[in-house]
Amino acid sequence: MVKKPLSIKKTAALTGLSIRAIHYYDEIGLLKPSGLTKAGYRQYDDEAISALMQIMFYKELGFSLKEIANIMKKSDYDKNEALIKHRDLLIFKKKHIESLIELTKQALKGEEMNVKNDVLQEYENARKQYADEAEQKWGKSKAYQQSAIKHDSYNEKEKTDMMNEAEEIFKEFANNIGTDPSGEIVQKLVKRWQEHITRYSYDCTTEILRGLALMYVEDERFKKNLDKYGKGTAKLMHDAIIVYCKQ
């Protein structure tokens, strides 16, 4: 427990989240600060930090922010269950990190490296189990269901067209790294990307688009996938989308 509410900076440092992410959670109503200082700065108490930990857990399982908000609003939602599973998942991750540290030590000493694949598998198995349990209990979002129905209906040519167009858009963003995110060319790319998602997957509202923008820079999996087109692609897409959604 914290002795007194923490500033947003200290809260970000404690949880490993960025200040930008916590600001965004406030903006979309996912997590409001527990209070404000006289100067108007956000503060977060034990309950708010606990909520952040729960959000981090469901993000780790692959749920979108909108899905997380819906889950945490359910009348039968059990925050303690989420926290216990998050703790267990972090323990598995800690064991995996410790095995990597030991592997590095062996490499530095020139020793035969003993790879413990089962340690990583424990984490992956637990993450999948918790994700499956959550999906079964809470169900998928409307966007997910809409996307699944559309994707199942596509033939091979349509799937190829969808992937090729997405690749083209990502490459165009990469070609504009270093330019103004609010510039006409980049903003047209954002509009094209939103239309692509709506046409091939689900109705990509401004709210959903903003949530995607945050994932592009906060989720290492998304960031890595986008930056393979050029380092800085994910950041440009994020910055450009934020500008686009304010218009």
Q: How far is CA 160 from CA 80, 154, 204, 226, in A?
A: 44, 10, 21, 19
Give the chain's mean pLDDT. Answer: 87
Q: Report how far residue 29's alpha carbon sits from residue 199's, in angstroms, rounded to the nearest whole number.
A: 28
Same domain, residue pair 158 and 237: yes
**CA–CA separation, 191 and 183 (whole Å):** 12
Name the helix (H) or strand (E) containing 6. Answer: strand 6-7
In a domain, 96, yes or no: yes
Residue 85 and residue 67 share a domain: no
The answer to the question of residue 1 being in a domain is: no
- The answer to whether the CB of 51 falls within 8 A of the CB of 44 is no
- 38, 73, 108 — which closes off a domain? 73
Question: Does 101 reside within a domain?
Answer: yes
Q: What is the pLDDT of residues 120-162, one digit of tens each?
A: 677 778 888 888 777 767 655 566 666 667 777 888 888 888 8
- Within this chain, do residues 28 and 86 fall inside the same structural domain, yes or no? no
Domains identified in the chain, total number? 3
Q: What are 35's strand-pairing partners?
A: 43
SS (HEC) of 128-160? HHHHHHHHHHHCCCHHHHHHHHHHHHCCHHHHH
Same domain, yes or no: 220 and 154: yes
Nearest C-alpha neighbor of 42 from the set 52, 30, 32: 32
Q: What's the CA gap between 169 and 196, in Å, rounded? A: 9
Point out the domain boundary residue: 138, 158, 180. 138
Residue 158 lies in a domain: yes
Among residues 117, 138, 159, which one ends one of the domains?
A: 138
Do 203 and 116 have their domain in common? no
Residue 18 and residue 13: Cα distance in Å, rounded?
Answer: 8
95 shares a domain with 40: no
For residues 62 and 112, membership in a common domain is answered with no
| 67 domain residue, yes or no | yes
Is 23 inside any structural domain? yes
Please report, for the domain that includes residue 201, its CATH number. 1.10.490.50
DSSP class of residue 5 equals P
Whether 164 and 197 map to the same domain: the answer is: yes
Q: Per-residue confidence at 7, pLDDT binned at 50, 70, 90?
A: very high
Residue 179 lies in a domain: yes
Q: What percent of the chain is modeled with pLDDT above 90? A: 42
Query: pTM of the prediction?
Result: 0.59
CA–CA separation, 246 and 216 (whole Å): 18
Q: Are residues 94 and 133 in the same domain?
A: yes
| Residue 85 structural domain | 79-138
15-69 pLDDT per residue, tens: 988 999 999 999 888 999 999 998 999 999 999 999 999 999 998 888 888 888 8
Is residue 13, in this structure, part of any structural domain at all? Answer: yes
